Amino acid sequence: MEDLFAKNSGENSMPEFSVSEISFEIKRCVETTFSRVRVKGEIFGAKRADSGHWYLTLKDDNAALSAVIWRGVASHLAIKPEDGLEVVATGKITTFAGKSSYQLVIEEMEIAGQGALLKLLEERKKAFAAEGLFDAAHKKPLPFLPTTIGVVTSASGAVIRDIIHRVRDRFPSHILLIPTPVQGEGAAEKVAQAIKDFNRLDEISDYKKPDVLIVARGGGSLEDLWPFNEECVIRAVYASQIPVISAVGHETDTMLIDYVADKRAPTPTGAAEFAVPVRAELQAMLNTLDARLKNGTIRYFSEKQNILAGLGRGIPNLSQILQEATQKLDDRIERLKLAFGNFIKNKANQVALCGLKPFYIKNLLEKNTEALRNLVSRLAASSVEAVLNRGFAWVKDDLGQTVYSTNQAKEAKSLEIRFADGSISTNQSTNNVITPHKKRKPKENENQISLFDM
């Protein structure tokens, strides 16, 4: 503004400026005086535009300062702008003549102090826990003996060397490394991308997807470890189909990645110990199990052999049983031969006898005929007709059943009394009226018929 005052120094009246002139001079003065400043304040009204630029306000108890973060800078910031976050922003003050306003163009931004970081950490922890990202049900079991181990960490430094040496000492396995920065601007995004790349490694390369992942870095301040608290890393670990072991910082350091990971290791070396077992211990265990299996097998077959021997003592001598059975069979065969011979001999004699004496058959028939006649006579003497002819009577009830006693006769509704020359009927309800019947022809089963012409 000195130039403007100079050209009017000869005049006694107040200097006169155009709007553009005064705006330009203010802009030049402000941007020259505040070309590089650090401003501490709380973020308020942070908003990301479609263009990728961030617009926000930094405030304290007494004032507010508008600020902007251009898209190219925003993509490399260590932290993402969030309302309520107390930060220290580094940049320059510039004016906007169209609105007679000024703003801070932020080039760098960091958390203002350890307390603010811890507060932000706690708030994020609560938010992620409420969303279920830390639930135990989502944890995946680690493979017992992985063939390939994926590692996300810096390519230089002690961390990767410690992991490699520990794996080799315990159980040598194939190790794949995707090197990433583990602190500073852009570290969180690159760690998250490495986790995603491992999960689709078999799709984007000729390598097989690893069986387990280790995300690790050494110790450091909270600011150094902050990328492992960023949302992009947390969600990448949560979405990983491969089990993830987190090993960030020292044993006392706890980052948000530790809560979402499937296993938290106190150190990178501890992560290697979780990833693979000790080969020597496995070999010793296998030797023990092999010895137990052999001893158990020997004992099993020994017991079965003793049981079989005991059962064998109760079984007779099979050779002796076979010999006795063979001897009996020989005897039966011999007896069968003799019996068959005698049978044929007897039949031959009978045939010869019949041939020599033809009258033998006639005598035999006469003899049998006489015996049959005697049987017929005896049968006729005991028939119903013969008994009735001797003066007996046959009494039946109304059901045709034979009556054997006076009680049965009293109980019958009617009676039929059969004599040799006929039968009569009595009716109990009509005072024993007798109805005579003619002599009926005897049934075939009641009289014996003559088989021969006597």
160-179: per-residue pLDDT in tens?
999 999 999 999 899 999 99
Task: Tell me the torsion sign for CA atoms 5, 7, 11, 17.
Answer: negative
User: Rounded to an integer, what distance in angstroms lies between the CA atom of residue 343 and that of residue 336?
Assistant: 10
Phi, psi of 291 (to 5 degrees): -65, -40
Contact 211, 176 (CB under 8 A): no
178's enclosing H/E stretch is strand 174-179
Does residue 454 have a pLDDT over 50?
A: no
Q: Which of 61-65, 346-350, 379-383 has the lowest mean pLDDT?
A: 379-383
Give residues with Cβ within 8 angstroms of 131, minimum separation 6. none
Contact 97, 60 (CB under 8 A): no
What mean pLDDT comes out for the span 302-308? 90
Question: In this structure, what token pair is assigned to residue 93?
Answer: 């003050």
Burial of 108 (0-12, 13-18, 19+ CB in 10 A): middle
Does residue 357 have a pLDDT over 70?
A: no
pLDDT band, residue 440 (cuts 50/70/90): low
User: Rounded to an integer, what distance in angstroms lies between the CA atom of residue 406 and that of residue 412?
Assistant: 10
pLDDT band, residue 182 (cuts 50/70/90): very high
Taking Cα atoms as reference points, which of 88, 80, 41 lies closest to residue 60? Answer: 41
Contact 428, 414 (CB under 8 A): yes
DSSP string, 426-454: EEGGGTSEEEEEPPPPPPTTTSPPPSS--
pLDDT band, residue 453 (cuts 50/70/90): very low
110's enclosing H/E stretch is strand 101-111
pLDDT band, residue 443 (cuts 50/70/90): low
Phi, psi of 254 (to 5 degrees): -130, 115
Does residue 449 have a pLDDT over 70?
A: no
In the chain, how long is the greatest CA-to-CA distance? Answer: 196
End-to-end CA distance of the chain: 180
Does residue 410 have a pLDDT over 50?
A: yes
Phi, psi of 66 (to 5 degrees): -70, 150
User: Rounded to an integer, what distance in angstroms lies between the CA atom of residue 228 and that of residue 182?
Assistant: 8
pLDDT tens digits along 416-429: 888 888 888 888 66
Burial of 294 (0-12, 13-18, 19+ CB in 10 A): exposed
Q: Which of 189-198, 234-243, 386-395 has the lowest mean pLDDT?
A: 386-395
Residue 85 has a pLDDT of 83
- Say whether 64 sits in a helix, a strand or coil: strand
pLDDT band, residue 58 (cuts 50/70/90): very high
User: Rounded to an integer, what distance in angstroms lies between the CA atom of residue 79 and that of residue 224?
Assistant: 12
Q: Which residue has the higher pLDDT, 133 or 377?
A: 133
pLDDT tens digits along 217-228: 988 888 888 899
pLDDT band, residue 6 (cuts 50/70/90): low
Does residue 5 have a pLDDT over 80?
A: no
What mean pLDDT comes out for the span 352-370? 74
Does residue 437 have a pLDDT over 70?
A: no
Question: In this structure, what token pair is assigned to residue 447?
Answer: 């009289």
Helices (H), 136-239: 158-170, 187-199, 201-204, 222-225, 231-239
Question: In this structure, what token pair is assigned to residue 110?
Answer: 């960091």
Contact 217, 227 (CB under 8 A): no
